[in-house]
Amino acid sequence: MPHRLSVDEPDRPPTPRREPGRKQRFNSRPQRRPSPETPLVVDGTLRLVADGTEVDVRAGEMYIVEAGVEHAVRPGSRGTLVIVEHASNAAQCCDRDCSP
């Protein structure tokens, strides 16, 4: 589900689910996740700092943030994005037939 993104309220933590079209204010403090996540930008620009490197992810692009990498949303991020959170057991599924 797309999230509207903004860093106008840096003290408000991000939440994983929002109604479509509702503005989401992202926490700009650095964080680390135990599993990879991939923001896919639908429109606008997501400005990240990941592992000390500043990255701008534009509409139609995605960026994989590997597990354990410190990252944060930078000021000036605006638009719509989908965050793909990678399941920790996804690799296990690839080792066997998961077809329905």
Q: Contact at 8 Å (CB) between 70 and 32?
A: yes
Q: Contact at 8 Å (CB) between 27 and 6?
A: no
Could you please state the CATH topology (level 3) that the domain comprising 3-94 is classified under. Answer: Jelly Rolls (2.60.120)
Question: What's this model's pTM, rounded to 2 decimal places?
Answer: 0.62
The residues spanned by each domain of the chain are 3-94
Dmax (CA) of the chain: 45
Chain segment 20-41, per-residue pLDDT in tens: 556 666 667 898 988 899 999 9
Chain segment 6-17, per-residue pLDDT in tens: 444 444 444 444
Chain segment 70-81, per-residue pLDDT in tens: 999 999 998 888
**Among 72, 84, 69, 82, residue whose Cα is nearest residue 26:** 72
